[in-house]
Amino acid sequence: MTPLLYSFRRCPYAMRARLAIQAAGIPVHLREVVLRDKPAAFLAASPSGTVPCLVLPEGRAVRVIDESLDIMFWALKISDPDGLLDMPASGRDLIARCDGPFKHALDRTKYATRYPDSDPLQHRAHAAAFLTDLNAQIDTHIFDRPTVADLAIAPFVRQFAFIDKPWFDAQPWRQVQAWLAAFMASDDFARIMAKYPPWAEGDAPTPFPPAGDL
């Protein structure tokens, strides 16, 4: 049986899972989830009720991978034709900082009304400190060629950039801005951002990665 991937197109965690599965070339059946109306099958499969969620058939049982980074490493350990896993330890450190302090600050900048006791400008400054460090490392030993760090971090930098794109573009992050623009202009990004109708019980399988040229 083909693995099932529950996903949501605009979720950065789901984006990076799709990016890794696409890079690995592993076929899955994609099920697009509407987060405000989650299907019962998805809730039964996902311990956290969040996307992405990968359901792997293993004989008569199934195994569920419910964390985006775990899905990325599952896929790339099976097939990694571009050598994305070949990165220094500092790449893992950047992913940890992205998923920890940067994501914390991103949420409190983007969704300020959810955090009335937080100062969104202060959190934007905290996020900016991460991007300043990231800018200094691009074109050195991390991003001189793509690694899994690019796939893991870029969707979150994109989300932060579009909170206030004119402000983001005015910052002295020329390397980060060029890196993000190249990511967003890539065929890989266009393919993983293809629109699919919400999945419902009884729907025909949706093959992923998508086949053919853009």
DSSP 25: T
Tell me, yes or no, whether 78 and 111 share the same domain: no
Angle between helix axes 68-78 and 148-161 (nearest 10 degrees) is: 150
Contacts (Cβ under 8 Å, ≥6 apart) of 187: 214
Q: Which domain holds residue 30?
A: 4-82+194-208
Dist CA 114 CA 119 (whole Å): 11
Rounded to two decimals, the pTM is: 0.94
Task: Note whether residue 175 is domain-resident.
Answer: yes
- Region of 25 on the Ramachandran plot (φ > 0 left; ψ -120 to 50 alpha; else beta): left
Query: What is the reported pLDDT for 88?
Result: 83
| Alpha-carbon distances of 149 from 89, 92, 96, 140, rounded to whole Å | 10, 7, 10, 14
pLDDT tens figures, 158-177 = 999 999 999 999 999 999 99
Question: Would you tell me how many other CB atoms lie within 10 Å of the CB of residue 99?
Answer: 16
Task: Note whether residue 213 is domain-resident.
Answer: no
Tell me, yes or no, whether 104 and 76 share the same domain: no
CATH number at residue 120: 1.20.1050.10
Q: From first to last of the 214 residues of the chain, give the pLDDT tens digit.
A: 899 999 999 999 999 999 999 999 999 999 999 999 999 999 999 989 999 999 998 877 899 999 999 999 999 999 999 999 998 888 899 999 999 999 999 999 999 999 999 999 999 999 999 999 999 888 654 555 789 999 999 999 999 999 999 999 999 999 999 999 999 999 999 999 999 999 999 999 999 998 654 4
Q: How many domains does the chain have?
A: 2
Dist CA 208 CA 191 (whole Å): 10
pLDDT tens figures, 117-160 = 999 999 999 999 999 999 988 865 455 578 999 999 999 999 99
53-58, strands of its sheet edge to edge: 61-65, 53-58, 4-7, 28-32, 207-208
Tell me, yes or no, whether 60 and 113 share the same domain: no
